[in-house]
Structure formats: C-alpha cells, structure tokens
Structure 1
Amino acid sequence: MRVSHYFEGEGVVTGGFAQSVNNQRAILDEHDIDYTTDPSLDVDLLHLNNAGPRSLYYAKRARRRGIPVLFHTHNTAADFRDSFVFSNALAKPLRPYLAYAYGLADHLICPSEHNQEVIAEYTDTPSTVISNGFDHERFAGWDDPALREEYLDRYDLEPPVVFMFGHVIKRKGLRTFVETARALPEYDFAWFGYLNPTGGRLDRFLQPRETRKLVEYSPENCTFTGYIEDPRGAPAAGDVFFWPSKNENEGMALLEAMHCGKPPVIRDIPTYEWLDDGEDCRKCATATDFADAIARLCEDADERERIGANAAATTEQFTLDAVGEQLITLYDEVVSGPTNERTPTG
C-alpha cells in the first residue's frame, strides 16, 4: 500500500493540529507503510489533513481516478471561532465549505465521538472515530527534578503551580484562566505556549485586541511564557492542569498532561463525556466551580495524586500503539472496499 499523506499548510499550522499529523506519520513509520507527504495520485490512498483548496483539488482528481479519499475532520466551524482576527466572521461560511470538502471523501476520521456528531450535521460521508492520540516519548523524563527546578526558576513560579499548555487564544478559555488567577492570588498560574494562533511573526495582526488586553492586564500571579522549546517543561513545573477550553474536537494537550499524572480541571463540555468527574478529572461549569476545584487540588496533595494517577491510567487507551492499530485497520478497509461513487455537489 502506498499513501499520499498530505497536510496542507504544513510548516505554518502549528499546535495540536500539527502534532496530530506527526503522530499519524509516526504510526505509518512504525507499521512500515509506504507514504509520501506530497499530494500525489500515484498512490492507493489519499489521506488529507486540512481542508485547503489544494486538498480539495486533489480530492476531486482522486475520485475521478477511483483512488479512495480519507479526510481527517480536524476542522469544524465551532472550533474555528474565537481564535484569531475575523475568525468569528469566517466561521459562518466555513461550515458549508467544510461540508462540501468532507463530502468529497470516501471516509472520514473523527478524533472524538463529539466531533463525529458535529460532522454528521455537515455530511453523510461514513466516518470512524480514531483519537489523535499522543506521543508519550515526547514527555519522557518530564519528572526530572532538575527540569522542574529549571522551569520553576525561569518563570519565577512557586508550587503548587496551576498551568495550561497550548496556543493563547480566546476559545481555549483565556478569560476564564485569567479571571480564575485573579480570584486565587495565593497560587501561581502559568500558560505555556505561543502567544498567537499560528506561532508565526504576524501575532499583532492575527491576535484580536481583546486577547492581547487579557494577557497584558492579567494579574501578577498569571504568567504567559510564550513558546517553550521543551514541551516537558510545562508538566515538569505544573501541578494542576487547568483546561477551561470552550470547544474542542479532542484536545491533545489534555491527553499529554493527564499522561504525566497531572489532575485536570476542565470545562464541562460534550467532548469530555468519557472523563469521570471526581475520578480522573474535575469538571466545572461556573467561575466559582473552577476556583473551588483548583483551590482544593492545590491544598490537598493526596487528592492531586489520586486524580492524577487515575488520569494517567485513562490515557493508556490513547497511546500511539493503541490508536495506531485502528488507523492501519481503517486504511486496509478503505483501500480494499468499494470506492465512493457519490457525485459531489456544490
């Protein structure tokens, strides 16, 4: 089997989106799948990861040639909102565009059951839920005391540290993060990650003014580190993972933090129905709930340990070994099955 594993926007799109693509390619390498990262039609399967115009062009050409098309549904209109300048205005036309794009595929890969339910409102293309997974090797050695000391000293943090890991965008719950830090001045809050949606140099143009103001006027106990070269620095320094994101297709940073045994405090949204409040996380719906849950975990080391250990155990189902078998099985099924003969519309 030869696969065209194409990621339109590679090198520009960053964060969990890009890491998901890296995870997929690690799986292909592990299973000795022959693939190219170019949008080639000299293949048995076209696997697309971003619904850009070039991807749609090759999807249509592949269908005409009888080459099965697999599309990862990383993008939804709701997930696009509250990310960068004009994202809310663009979210409305994005939905019919994505519906058309995903309708070109023979099969879709949805990273969560919630994402699958959302995508089912876009198109009737068959779909399979396969987690983006996480690469545990990226975090090997996160518990090194020297690494913890390095990152605590670098950002002048005093344990227990409440932390977040990911792009600093409004959708990720930026306002909730800042206001919770303001309500709990006795604890240090640290957000590790890019201070703009793309990690590029256009942050002043891409980042909404509201986002910049929230960061600029955050309380003294709230630190925004910007990009860190070693992702292990976040769980090394952090003690309670605060993930108030308003909308997620899955949330790779959450999986990574849980894997490191960090008890997560999350927003109670449909994406996380697979998590058990009080066992492997704390789910919250209001500002008061967030503050209370974080304060309890910060003050109770035993509770942090209990929920963190349960969280780590839960993530075993999301390792690359676990999700890799699912991905390769789907490849075989799509390639060996009948090609999709539906006529695209639009």
Structure 2
Amino acid sequence: MTDLKVCVYLELEKFFEASGIGSAVQNQRKALRNNGVEVTSNPRDEYDILHLNTIGPFSFYYAKKTSLMNKNLVIHAHTTAEDFSGSYRFSSKLSGLLKKYLSYFYDQGDALLCPSMFTKDLLKNYNLDRDPIVISNGIHFDKFCCDPDLGESIRDRFDLDGLVIFSVGGVFKRKGIKTFLKVAEKFPDQNFVWFGPKYKRLQDREVKDILKNSPENLHFTGKIDNILGAYSAGDIFLFPSHNENQGIAALEAASCGLPMILRDIPGFSHFEDQKNCVKCNSFNEFVDAVDDLIEDADKRNKLGEEAQKIAKNHSLDKIGEKLIEIYRSIQR
C-alpha cells in the first residue's frame, strides 16, 4: 500500500457508465488499486488528491473547494469542444462557448491529463497555462477477452447468425452512424449491429431518421448490461467515428483480438493501417474493407492478433504506475 488516498470523481456517473469516459474512470480506479493506492469515488470523503474527469457544475465546485482546502487537484481532459460538436442535439452550436469554459476550467488543477497526443495538440489552441500530460485511458486486458458463452447468449438474444459486423458506443452522429448505416445497406445479407445507448432525448433529427429508417439487417440494441457480450458476439469491429480523443472502444476490441476497420483520424494514430487494423477515409474504402474482411478469414485473424499486441501496451498496471508518478510530482 502507498500512503496516498485519491478521490477519482465522475460527476453524473450513472449517465456516463456506458460511455468511454465511464470506462476510463473505472480503469483509473482499478489501475490505482492494483498499485496499492486507496481510492474513493466520493468527493466528500477525506483524500490527498482529487482527480476530476468531467466538467460539470459539481466538478467545478469541488475543484474550487479542493483549492481552498490546499489539497492537490488533477483534471483529466476527456472533453474537447471538437469532440463535443456533433454528439448531442444543439452540441455543435454550443461548442464555441464550451471551448471558452474549458480554457478556464482546465487551468484550475495542479496537473492536466489527456488521453492522447491528438488531444494534447487540440488543447494547444485553448491558451492553457499548463502543459497537458499524455496518459492512455488504459484497458483492463484480463477482462476484455472474448467469452464464447456470453457471445452466444447475445447472438441468441438478438437473433444473430453468421458473421456480425458491429460497433460499440453511444448513438451519436459524431460516432459515424450514418456511414455505418450506408455500409450496412451495401451488405443486405450480413448482420450489422450497433451496441450502445440511444440517448433519445438528446438525439438530433438526423439521428432519429437513421434509427427510424435503418435497413432490416441493421440492429440498434440500446445499452446492454455487459459490454463484453458485444465484443464476444461480433466478428468485425467497424468504427467509423469522425472524432475520438483515444477511442476506448477500439482498445477494447483490440484487447479481444478482433479485426478492426477504423476511420483514418488522428485519435487512432496508435493503430497502424494494414498491420493491426484497416483505416479508411472514404465511404467506398469502408465498403471495400468490409467486403475484404468478410471474404478473408486469415486476414481477420492476423489483424486481430496484431491489434491485441497494441492493447497490451495500455495495461492498467502501467497506467497506475504513471498516475502515481504524476500524483507524487505535484504533492504538497
């Protein structure tokens, strides 16, 4: 055990539990506990360091309170104006105001963390006093390995057979659901499945139309209790997201040894095209990539094996060690 007690706080945790931020926070807590750190999620508890992961009013309040108490504060920049745009209804219109707020909020801590060099480069345009520290969101490698029994139960539940091309995440325009739908239309004999919450009250009109008019071979499951079931039931991970800070879902798919088709965006720079994934820029490239992997089982297996090697580099033990190092460097 270390002598540290850290509060890893996630405002609106229930809302975020099925999101990448929710997974990242669970990974932080697990990584720290694996390295002997006492962890709480309650900011009203005693702690040495407060680690904030969201940007809402309660997070702002606890940031100010921690400063007044002369305790250390770490802020994790999971949210940028760029990835907020295109996520929810009205989010694109609000992204400019959000950027101004983030420029202030992200300077409140003793350390600012972000999940990738891509995010760090974005934050350079926020006029921050602090230089962001890059640390992976990590992956619970032992947890994210395919479970055939769980996969079979998911297949039975949603009446899936044959190859399953799938994605994981909230049903947002930014996640590339329009591309996913258009690709599904090109392969009417294949099952396409999107596993993840629909957030109906936050959907814009385009997302509602996609859900209403999707082809018969495309299924939107909504939130499922054990997301490992999605990876265990699927065969090809198709993730055409337009903007990711790191893309935890891709790391989870990689950990499960699945072949991945990703949009060629900076947030996926830790993956290499044609070695551990297939990267695409255009709609036709996505169609060709899906067609290629449907036909080539050997390529699917090879890409999955190589992707798994990348996931191992993001193990929780390594993440925990780096977090402790950061905490020690700022401790008063």
TM-score range, shorter chain: over 0.9
**Cα distance in 2, alignment partners of residues 271 and 289 from structure 1:** 19
**Cα distance in 2, alignment partners of residues 183 and 137 from structure 1:** 36
Deviation track 1:292-323 (CA, whole Å, cap 9, x = no partner) reads 01110111000000111100111111121221
Amino acid at match of 2:172: I
**Cα distance in 1, alignment partners of residues 152 and 159 from structure 2:** 10
Amino acid at match of 1:51: I
Alignment pair present for 1:327 and 2:292: no
What does residue range 89-100 of structure 1 map to in structure 2 within 5 Å? 89-100=93-104
What does residue range 195-234 of structure 1 map to in structure 2 within 5 Å? 195-196=198-199, 203=200, 205-234=201-230
Tell me by how many angstroms 1:42 deviates: 4.8
**Runs ≥4 in structure 1, deviation > 6 angstroms?**
none
Give the aligned length: 327
Deviation track 1:86-108 (CA, whole Å, cap 9, x = no partner) reads 21122110001011000111211
Alignment pair present for 1:83 and 2:87: yes
Partner of 2:187: 184
**Cα distance in 2, alignment partners of residues 158 and 42 from structure 1:** 51
Superposition CA RMSD, Å: 1.7
What does residue range 63-212 of structure 1 map to in structure 2 within 5 Å? 63-122=67-126, 123-140=128-145, 142-144=146-148, 146-196=149-199, 203=200, 205-212=201-208
Deviation track 1:87-135 (CA, whole Å, cap 9, x = no partner) reads 1122110001011000111211111110111122211313211111122
Q: Which runs of 5+ in 2 are unaligned?
A: none
Amino acid at match of 1:324: G
Is the contact between residue 43 and residue 62 of structure 2 (CA under 8 Å) also seen in structure 1? yes
Tell me by how many angstroms 1:43 deviates: 3.5
Tell me by how many angstroms 1:40 deviates: 4.5
Amino acid at match of 1:73: A
- Secondary structure of the equivalent of 1:255? helix
Is the contact between residue 159 and residue 239 of structure 1 (CA under 8 Å) also seen in structure 2? no
Partner of 1:318: 314
Q: How many percent identity over aligned positions?
A: 40
Tell me by how many angstroms 1:65 deviates: 4.2
Is the contact between residue 141 and residue 311 of structure 2 (CA under 8 Å) also seen in structure 1? no
Amino acid at match of 2:136: S
Tell me by how many angstroms 1:44 deviates: 2.6
Deviation track 1:47-100 (CA, whole Å, cap 9, x = no partner) reads 111111222233233334432221000111111111222211221100010110
Q: Which runs of 5+ in 1 are unaligned?
A: 197-202, 337-346
Amino acid at match of 1:69: L
Tell me by how many angstroms 1:190 deviates: 0.8
Amino acid at match of 1:306: K
**Cα distance in 2, alignment partners of residues 43 and 85 from structure 1:** 37
Tell me by how many angstroms 1:333 deviates: 1.2
